[in-house]
Amino acid sequence: MEKHDQLLMKKQNKNLVLDLIKNHSPISRMELAKVTGMSPTSITRIVNELHMQGFVRETELVTSGVGRKAALLDVCGDVLYTIGVEIDKLAIKIGIVDYIGKIVAWQQIERDETESYNETLEKINGIIRLLITEQGFSDEKIIGIGVGLPGFIDYKNGVVKISDQLKWKNVDITADLKKLTGFDVIVDNELKMKIMAEHFKGMTKDAQNAVLVGIGSGIGSAIMLNGEIYRGDSNNAGEIGHTVIDPTGNVCNCGKIGCLATYISEGAIIADSRKVKNIQTIDEVFASYRMGESWAMNLMDRATTFIALAISNILCLYNPEVIILSGNTIEKLPEIKSAIEQKCELYIWDPVKENLKFVYSLLGNEGVVLGAAIQTQNTLLDLE
Protein backbone atom coordinates (compact mmCIF):
# COMPACT_ATOMS: atom_id res chain seq x y z
CA MET A 1 0.00 0.00 0.00
CA GLU A 2 1.26 3.48 -0.89
CA LYS A 3 2.13 5.85 1.94
CA HIS A 4 -0.63 8.25 0.89
CA ASP A 5 -3.25 5.49 1.02
CA GLN A 6 -2.00 4.35 4.42
CA LEU A 7 -2.42 7.86 5.83
CA LEU A 8 -5.88 8.16 4.34
CA MET A 9 -6.93 4.85 5.84
CA LYS A 10 -5.53 5.83 9.21
CA LYS A 11 -7.57 9.00 9.11
CA GLN A 12 -10.73 7.17 8.07
CA ASN A 13 -10.31 4.67 10.89
CA LYS A 14 -9.82 7.46 13.38
CA ASN A 15 -12.95 9.23 12.15
CA LEU A 16 -14.90 5.99 12.32
CA VAL A 17 -13.84 5.30 15.91
CA LEU A 18 -14.61 8.86 16.99
CA ASP A 19 -18.04 8.74 15.32
CA LEU A 20 -18.84 5.47 17.07
CA ILE A 21 -17.85 6.86 20.46
CA LYS A 22 -19.84 10.02 19.78
CA ASN A 23 -23.00 8.19 18.72
CA HIS A 24 -22.87 5.16 21.02
CA SER A 25 -21.21 6.43 24.18
CA PRO A 26 -20.52 5.17 26.73
CA ILE A 27 -18.77 2.38 24.85
CA SER A 28 -15.80 0.16 25.70
CA ARG A 29 -12.64 -0.42 23.65
CA MET A 30 -13.67 -4.05 23.28
CA GLU A 31 -17.02 -3.12 21.74
CA LEU A 32 -15.25 -0.71 19.38
CA ALA A 33 -12.96 -3.50 18.21
CA LYS A 34 -15.94 -5.78 17.71
CA VAL A 35 -18.00 -3.26 15.73
CA THR A 36 -15.14 -2.00 13.53
CA GLY A 37 -13.36 -5.29 13.04
CA MET A 38 -10.09 -3.57 13.99
CA SER A 39 -7.61 -5.21 16.33
CA PRO A 40 -7.67 -4.26 20.04
CA THR A 41 -4.15 -2.84 19.56
CA SER A 42 -5.29 -0.51 16.78
CA ILE A 43 -8.29 0.59 18.82
CA THR A 44 -6.08 1.33 21.83
CA ARG A 45 -3.68 3.35 19.66
CA ILE A 46 -6.51 5.39 18.07
CA VAL A 47 -8.26 5.97 21.41
CA ASN A 48 -4.97 7.15 22.94
CA GLU A 49 -4.51 9.64 20.11
CA LEU A 50 -8.07 10.91 20.47
CA HIS A 51 -7.58 11.19 24.21
CA MET A 52 -4.38 13.22 23.74
CA GLN A 53 -6.20 15.55 21.35
CA GLY A 54 -8.96 16.09 23.90
CA PHE A 55 -11.81 14.39 22.03
CA VAL A 56 -12.29 11.36 24.23
CA ARG A 57 -12.32 10.65 27.94
CA GLU A 58 -12.82 7.61 30.12
CA THR A 59 -15.96 7.59 32.18
CA GLU A 60 -17.17 4.80 34.45
CA LEU A 61 -15.62 1.39 34.94
CA VAL A 62 -17.70 -1.68 34.24
CA THR A 63 -16.94 -5.30 34.93
CA SER A 64 -16.07 -7.09 31.74
CA GLY A 65 -16.66 -10.81 31.13
CA VAL A 66 -13.53 -12.12 32.78
CA GLY A 67 -13.94 -10.13 35.97
CA ARG A 68 -11.58 -7.36 34.89
CA LYS A 69 -12.65 -3.77 34.99
CA ALA A 70 -13.07 -2.10 31.60
CA ALA A 71 -13.28 1.65 31.18
CA LEU A 72 -16.06 3.10 29.07
CA LEU A 73 -15.36 5.93 26.65
CA ASP A 74 -17.24 9.13 26.03
CA VAL A 75 -16.57 12.23 23.92
CA CYS A 76 -15.72 15.62 25.43
CA GLY A 77 -18.26 18.25 24.40
CA ASP A 78 -15.93 21.13 25.16
CA VAL A 79 -13.07 20.05 22.88
CA LEU A 80 -14.24 22.42 20.13
CA TYR A 81 -17.15 24.60 19.12
CA THR A 82 -18.87 25.71 15.93
CA ILE A 83 -21.18 28.66 15.38
CA GLY A 84 -24.57 28.25 13.74
CA VAL A 85 -26.32 31.24 12.14
CA GLU A 86 -29.83 31.44 10.74
CA ILE A 87 -30.75 34.46 8.66
CA ASP A 88 -34.43 34.89 7.95
CA LYS A 89 -36.36 37.82 6.56
CA LEU A 90 -37.23 39.19 9.99
CA ALA A 91 -34.80 37.51 12.40
CA ILE A 92 -31.19 36.56 12.91
CA LYS A 93 -30.40 33.68 15.29
CA ILE A 94 -26.92 32.72 16.38
CA GLY A 95 -25.74 29.93 18.63
CA ILE A 96 -22.38 28.57 19.75
CA VAL A 97 -22.63 24.80 19.70
CA ASP A 98 -20.27 22.31 21.33
CA TYR A 99 -18.90 19.08 19.90
CA ILE A 100 -21.86 16.99 21.07
CA GLY A 101 -24.45 19.38 19.67
CA LYS A 102 -25.33 21.34 22.79
CA ILE A 103 -26.07 25.04 22.34
CA VAL A 104 -23.93 26.80 24.96
CA ALA A 105 -24.66 30.41 23.97
CA TRP A 106 -27.59 31.92 22.08
CA GLN A 107 -28.74 35.26 20.77
CA GLN A 108 -31.70 36.17 18.62
CA ILE A 109 -32.37 39.62 17.19
CA GLU A 110 -34.87 41.14 14.83
CA ARG A 111 -33.90 41.88 11.29
CA ASP A 112 -35.29 44.81 9.38
CA GLU A 113 -36.65 43.82 5.99
CA THR A 114 -34.93 46.83 4.42
CA GLU A 115 -31.57 46.04 6.01
CA SER A 116 -28.69 45.75 3.54
CA TYR A 117 -26.48 42.70 3.09
CA ASN A 118 -23.51 44.47 4.70
CA GLU A 119 -25.58 45.66 7.67
CA THR A 120 -26.76 42.11 8.31
CA LEU A 121 -23.20 40.74 8.20
CA GLU A 122 -21.96 43.50 10.53
CA LYS A 123 -24.71 42.63 13.00
CA ILE A 124 -23.81 38.93 12.85
CA ASN A 125 -20.15 39.68 13.46
CA GLY A 126 -21.07 41.88 16.43
CA ILE A 127 -23.17 39.17 18.05
CA ILE A 128 -20.57 36.47 17.43
CA ARG A 129 -17.90 38.62 19.12
CA LEU A 130 -20.23 39.32 22.02
CA LEU A 131 -21.09 35.64 22.55
CA ILE A 132 -17.45 34.53 22.33
CA THR A 133 -16.42 37.18 24.88
CA GLU A 134 -19.29 36.25 27.21
CA GLN A 135 -18.23 32.60 27.13
CA GLY A 136 -14.59 33.51 27.66
CA PHE A 137 -13.54 31.39 24.66
CA SER A 138 -10.39 31.89 22.65
CA ASP A 139 -10.87 31.89 18.86
CA GLU A 140 -8.83 28.69 18.58
CA LYS A 141 -11.67 26.75 20.25
CA ILE A 142 -13.99 27.62 17.34
CA ILE A 143 -13.48 25.83 14.05
CA GLY A 144 -15.95 27.74 11.91
CA ILE A 145 -19.34 29.25 11.18
CA GLY A 146 -22.26 27.67 9.35
CA VAL A 147 -24.97 29.88 7.87
CA GLY A 148 -28.44 28.69 6.89
CA LEU A 149 -30.77 30.93 4.93
CA PRO A 150 -33.71 30.61 2.52
CA GLY A 151 -32.88 30.62 -1.16
CA PHE A 152 -30.83 29.11 -3.95
CA ILE A 153 -27.36 28.49 -2.53
CA ASP A 154 -24.24 27.37 -4.37
CA TYR A 155 -23.00 25.59 -1.26
CA LYS A 156 -19.81 24.30 -2.93
CA ASN A 157 -18.57 27.82 -3.69
CA GLY A 158 -20.25 29.38 -0.66
CA VAL A 159 -22.32 31.81 -2.70
CA VAL A 160 -25.95 32.86 -2.26
CA LYS A 161 -27.23 32.85 -5.84
CA ILE A 162 -30.72 34.18 -5.07
CA SER A 163 -32.62 34.73 -1.87
CA ASP A 164 -36.00 36.29 -2.63
CA GLN A 165 -36.81 36.63 1.03
CA LEU A 166 -33.59 38.46 1.91
CA LYS A 167 -33.45 40.20 -1.50
CA TRP A 168 -29.86 39.06 -2.00
CA LYS A 169 -28.38 38.06 -5.33
CA ASN A 170 -24.93 36.56 -6.06
CA VAL A 171 -23.33 37.44 -2.74
CA ASP A 172 -20.17 35.65 -1.65
CA ILE A 173 -21.25 35.32 1.96
CA THR A 174 -18.56 32.83 2.97
CA ALA A 175 -15.73 35.14 1.83
CA ASP A 176 -17.36 38.29 3.22
CA LEU A 177 -18.17 36.82 6.62
CA LYS A 178 -14.72 35.27 6.86
CA LYS A 179 -13.19 38.69 6.22
CA LEU A 180 -15.24 40.14 9.08
CA THR A 181 -14.97 37.37 11.64
CA GLY A 182 -11.71 35.62 10.78
CA PHE A 183 -13.43 32.22 10.85
CA ASP A 184 -13.98 29.75 8.01
CA VAL A 185 -17.60 29.86 6.86
CA ILE A 186 -19.95 27.46 5.10
CA VAL A 187 -23.44 28.27 3.80
CA ASP A 188 -26.43 26.22 2.73
CA ASN A 189 -30.17 26.44 2.30
CA GLU A 190 -31.76 26.66 5.75
CA LEU A 191 -33.86 23.51 5.45
CA LYS A 192 -30.86 21.45 4.35
CA MET A 193 -29.11 22.67 7.51
CA LYS A 194 -32.17 21.89 9.60
CA ILE A 195 -32.49 18.30 8.42
CA MET A 196 -28.88 17.76 9.61
CA ALA A 197 -30.02 18.69 13.12
CA GLU A 198 -32.98 16.32 12.85
CA HIS A 199 -30.65 13.59 11.63
CA PHE A 200 -28.13 14.13 14.42
CA LYS A 201 -30.44 14.60 17.38
CA GLY A 202 -34.03 15.02 16.26
CA MET A 203 -36.92 13.17 14.70
CA THR A 204 -35.02 11.33 11.93
CA LYS A 205 -32.18 10.00 14.07
CA ASP A 206 -32.77 6.39 13.06
CA ALA A 207 -34.17 6.99 9.58
CA GLN A 208 -32.22 6.77 6.33
CA ASN A 209 -34.94 8.28 4.14
CA ALA A 210 -36.66 11.38 5.44
CA VAL A 211 -38.17 14.62 4.23
CA LEU A 212 -38.41 17.81 6.23
CA VAL A 213 -41.02 20.34 5.16
CA GLY A 214 -40.69 23.95 6.30
CA ILE A 215 -43.75 26.18 6.28
CA GLY A 216 -43.38 29.83 7.16
CA SER A 217 -42.11 32.84 5.25
CA GLY A 218 -41.77 30.37 2.36
CA ILE A 219 -42.46 26.70 1.78
CA GLY A 220 -39.70 24.27 0.98
CA SER A 221 -38.33 20.88 1.87
CA ALA A 222 -35.08 19.06 2.46
CA ILE A 223 -34.69 15.47 1.37
CA MET A 224 -32.46 12.87 2.95
CA LEU A 225 -31.94 9.70 0.93
CA ASN A 226 -29.88 6.80 2.27
CA GLY A 227 -28.61 9.01 5.09
CA GLU A 228 -27.35 11.78 2.78
CA ILE A 229 -28.89 15.08 1.80
CA TYR A 230 -30.22 14.85 -1.74
CA ARG A 231 -29.23 18.06 -3.51
CA GLY A 232 -29.93 17.49 -7.18
CA ASP A 233 -27.71 19.12 -9.79
CA SER A 234 -27.70 22.69 -8.44
CA ASN A 235 -28.68 22.16 -4.77
CA ASN A 236 -32.32 23.01 -5.50
CA ALA A 237 -33.87 19.59 -4.94
CA GLY A 238 -36.72 20.05 -2.50
CA GLU A 239 -37.69 23.60 -3.53
CA ILE A 240 -41.34 22.69 -3.75
CA GLY A 241 -42.44 26.32 -3.24
CA HIS A 242 -42.07 26.92 -6.95
CA THR A 243 -43.90 23.86 -8.20
CA VAL A 244 -46.83 25.18 -10.19
CA ILE A 245 -50.13 23.90 -8.92
CA ASP A 246 -52.52 26.25 -10.70
CA PRO A 247 -51.43 27.87 -13.97
CA THR A 248 -54.37 30.26 -13.66
CA GLY A 249 -53.57 31.16 -10.07
CA ASN A 250 -51.72 33.94 -8.23
CA VAL A 251 -48.56 35.65 -9.48
CA CYS A 252 -45.45 34.48 -7.60
CA ASN A 253 -42.46 36.69 -6.76
CA CYS A 254 -40.39 34.36 -8.99
CA GLY A 255 -42.37 35.68 -11.97
CA LYS A 256 -44.38 32.55 -12.64
CA ILE A 257 -48.07 32.03 -12.02
CA GLY A 258 -49.66 29.65 -9.55
CA CYS A 259 -46.61 28.50 -7.53
CA LEU A 260 -47.37 26.53 -4.36
CA ALA A 261 -45.77 29.30 -2.29
CA THR A 262 -48.47 31.76 -3.37
CA TYR A 263 -51.05 29.80 -1.36
CA ILE A 264 -49.00 28.95 1.73
CA SER A 265 -46.19 31.44 2.44
CA GLU A 266 -46.74 34.11 5.09
CA GLY A 267 -46.21 36.93 2.60
CA ALA A 268 -48.83 35.50 0.24
CA ILE A 269 -51.34 34.99 3.07
CA ILE A 270 -50.79 38.55 4.30
CA ALA A 271 -51.20 39.91 0.76
CA ASP A 272 -54.51 38.07 0.33
CA SER A 273 -55.65 39.18 3.81
CA ARG A 274 -55.24 42.81 2.80
CA LYS A 275 -58.00 42.39 0.24
CA VAL A 276 -60.32 42.11 3.25
CA LYS A 277 -58.70 43.86 6.20
CA ASN A 278 -55.77 46.15 6.98
CA ILE A 279 -53.32 43.42 8.03
CA GLN A 280 -49.61 44.01 8.70
CA THR A 281 -48.27 40.76 10.17
CA ILE A 282 -48.95 37.04 10.05
CA ASP A 283 -49.69 37.15 13.81
CA GLU A 284 -52.71 39.35 13.03
CA VAL A 285 -53.95 36.78 10.50
CA PHE A 286 -53.59 34.00 13.08
CA ALA A 287 -55.40 36.12 15.70
CA SER A 288 -58.30 36.64 13.29
CA TYR A 289 -58.32 32.90 12.60
CA ARG A 290 -58.62 32.23 16.32
CA MET A 291 -61.47 34.74 16.54
CA GLY A 292 -63.26 32.71 13.87
CA GLU A 293 -63.28 35.49 11.26
CA SER A 294 -64.45 33.79 8.09
CA TRP A 295 -61.86 35.32 5.70
CA ALA A 296 -59.01 34.07 7.93
CA MET A 297 -60.65 30.65 8.29
CA ASN A 298 -60.96 30.46 4.50
CA LEU A 299 -57.36 31.49 3.84
CA MET A 300 -55.94 29.02 6.35
CA ASP A 301 -58.28 26.29 5.14
CA ARG A 302 -56.96 26.82 1.62
CA ALA A 303 -53.38 26.83 2.94
CA THR A 304 -53.85 23.51 4.78
CA THR A 305 -55.32 21.96 1.63
CA PHE A 306 -52.25 22.94 -0.37
CA ILE A 307 -49.90 21.82 2.42
CA ALA A 308 -51.56 18.39 2.37
CA LEU A 309 -51.33 18.22 -1.43
CA ALA A 310 -47.63 19.12 -1.28
CA ILE A 311 -47.01 16.43 1.33
CA SER A 312 -48.90 13.90 -0.75
CA ASN A 313 -46.76 14.69 -3.81
CA ILE A 314 -43.51 14.50 -1.83
CA LEU A 315 -44.47 11.10 -0.43
CA CYS A 316 -45.21 9.72 -3.90
CA LEU A 317 -41.91 11.06 -5.25
CA TYR A 318 -39.58 9.96 -2.44
CA ASN A 319 -41.43 7.42 -0.30
CA PRO A 320 -39.62 8.41 2.94
CA GLU A 321 -39.88 6.62 6.29
CA VAL A 322 -40.40 9.89 8.09
CA ILE A 323 -41.91 13.22 7.13
CA ILE A 324 -41.28 16.08 9.54
CA LEU A 325 -43.29 19.27 9.47
CA SER A 326 -41.66 22.39 10.85
CA GLY A 327 -41.61 26.15 10.58
CA ASN A 328 -43.14 29.32 11.86
CA THR A 329 -46.70 28.60 10.70
CA ILE A 330 -46.87 25.27 12.56
CA GLU A 331 -45.19 26.72 15.64
CA LYS A 332 -47.34 29.84 15.86
CA LEU A 333 -50.60 28.17 14.87
CA PRO A 334 -50.35 24.60 16.20
CA GLU A 335 -54.11 24.16 15.95
CA ILE A 336 -53.82 23.78 12.17
CA LYS A 337 -51.98 20.48 12.68
CA SER A 338 -55.23 18.54 12.94
CA ALA A 339 -56.59 20.18 9.78
CA ILE A 340 -53.41 19.24 7.89
CA GLU A 341 -53.60 15.67 9.20
CA GLN A 342 -57.26 15.28 8.22
CA LYS A 343 -56.53 16.48 4.69
CA CYS A 344 -53.46 14.26 4.43
CA GLU A 345 -55.71 11.37 5.35
CA LEU A 346 -57.85 12.24 2.31
CA TYR A 347 -55.08 12.95 -0.21
CA ILE A 348 -52.23 10.57 0.50
CA TRP A 349 -52.02 7.36 -1.48
CA ASP A 350 -52.23 4.34 0.85
CA PRO A 351 -49.05 2.47 -0.22
CA VAL A 352 -46.79 5.43 0.70
CA LYS A 353 -48.68 5.96 3.96
CA GLU A 354 -48.32 2.40 5.25
CA ASN A 355 -45.20 2.63 7.43
CA LEU A 356 -44.87 6.38 7.38
CA LYS A 357 -43.97 8.30 10.54
CA PHE A 358 -45.71 11.67 10.36
CA VAL A 359 -44.09 13.94 12.95
CA TYR A 360 -43.50 17.54 13.94
CA SER A 361 -40.06 18.97 14.60
CA LEU A 362 -39.23 19.36 18.28
CA LEU A 363 -36.17 21.52 17.61
CA GLY A 364 -38.35 24.61 17.28
CA ASN A 365 -36.54 27.86 17.00
CA GLU A 366 -33.10 26.28 17.24
CA GLY A 367 -33.24 23.76 14.39
CA VAL A 368 -31.44 25.71 11.64
CA VAL A 369 -28.75 27.10 13.97
CA LEU A 370 -28.05 23.67 15.40
CA GLY A 371 -27.99 22.01 11.98
CA ALA A 372 -25.68 24.70 10.57
CA ALA A 373 -23.29 24.19 13.48
CA ILE A 374 -23.36 20.40 13.07
CA GLN A 375 -22.78 20.68 9.32
CA THR A 376 -19.84 23.01 9.99
CA GLN A 377 -18.32 20.39 12.24
CA ASN A 378 -18.86 17.68 9.61
CA THR A 379 -17.32 19.84 6.89
CA LEU A 380 -14.46 21.64 8.62
CA LEU A 381 -13.24 19.30 11.34
CA ASP A 382 -9.99 17.77 10.13
CA LEU A 383 -8.70 15.04 12.42
CA GLU A 384 -4.96 14.88 11.99
Question: At its nearest, how many Å lie between Zn ion and the CB of residue 20?
Answer: 44
Question: Nearer Cβ to Zn ion, position 51 or 167?
Answer: 167
Question: At its nearest, how many Å lie between Zn ion and the CB of residue 152?
Answer: 12
Question: Nearer Cβ to Zn ion, position 209 or 243?
Answer: 243
Cis? peptide before 320, omega within 30° of 0 = no
Give the C-alpha separation, 175 to 98, whole Å.
24
Q: Please report whether residue 310 would count as binding Zn ion according to CB under 5 A.
A: no
Question: Nearer Cβ to Zn ion, position 29 or 242?
Answer: 242
Question: At its nearest, how many Å lie between Zn ion and the CB of residue 92?
Answer: 25
Rounded to 10 degrees, the C-alpha dihedral 288/291/296/298 comes to: 180
* Distances from the Cα of 98 to the Cα of 76, 238, 382, angstroms: 9, 29, 16
Question: At its nearest, how many Å lie between Zn ion and the CB of residue 240?
Answer: 10
Question: Nearer Cβ to Zn ion, position 239 or 366?
Answer: 239
Residues within window 209-248 making contact with Zn ion, judged by CB under 5 A: 242
Q: Total residues contacting Zn ion (rule CB under 5 A)?
A: 5
Question: Nearer Cβ to Zn ion, position 244 or 316?
Answer: 244
Residues within window 245-264 making contact with Zn ion, judged by CB under 5 A: 252, 254, 256, 259
Question: At its nearest, how many Å lie between Zn ion and the CB of residue 253?
Answer: 7
Question: Nearer Cβ to Zn ion, position 60 or 246?
Answer: 246
Q: How far is CA 62 from the centre of its chain?
A: 37
Question: At its nearest, how many Å lie between Zn ion and the CB of residue 261?
Answer: 6
Question: At its nearest, how many Å lie between Zn ion and the CB of residue 211?
Answer: 20
Question: Nearer Cβ to Zn ion, position 43 or 149?
Answer: 149
Question: At its nearest, how many Å lie between Zn ion and the CB of residue 265?
Answer: 10
Question: Nearer Cβ to Zn ion, position 77 or 258?
Answer: 258
Question: At its nearest, how many Å lie between Zn ion and the CB of residue 303?
Answer: 16
Question: Nearer Cβ to Zn ion, position 105 or 264?
Answer: 264
Question: At its nearest, how many Å lie between Zn ion and the CB of residue 300?
Answer: 21
HEC per residue, the chain: CCHHHHHHHHHHHHHHHHHHHHHHCCEEHHHHHHHHCCCHHHHHHHHHHHHHCCCEEEEEEEECCCCCEEEEEEECHHHCEEEEEEECCCEEEEEEEECCCCEEEEEEEECCCCCCHHHHHHHHHHHHHHHHHHHCCCHHHEEEEEEEECCEEECCCCEEEEECCCCEEEECHHHHHHHHHCCCEEEEEHHHHHHHHHHHHCCCCCCCCEEEEEECCCEEEEEEECCEEECCCCCCCCCHHHCECCCCCCECCCCCECECHHHHCHHHHHHHHCCCCCCCCHHHHHHHHHCCCHHHHHHHHHHHHHHHHHHHHHHHHHCCCEEEEECHHHHHCCCHHHHHHHHHHHHCCHHHHCCCEEEECCCHHHHHHHHHHHHHHHHHCCCC
Going by C-alpha positions, the residue among 130, 171, 103 that lies closest to residue 367 is 103
Question: Nearer Cβ to Zn ion, position 252 or 303?
Answer: 252
- Amino acid present at 250: N
Fill in the per-residue mask, 18 to 47: x = in contact with Zn ion (CB under 5 A), - = not in contact. ------------------------------
Q: Tell me which residues touch Zn ion (CB under 5 A).
A: 242, 252, 254, 256, 259
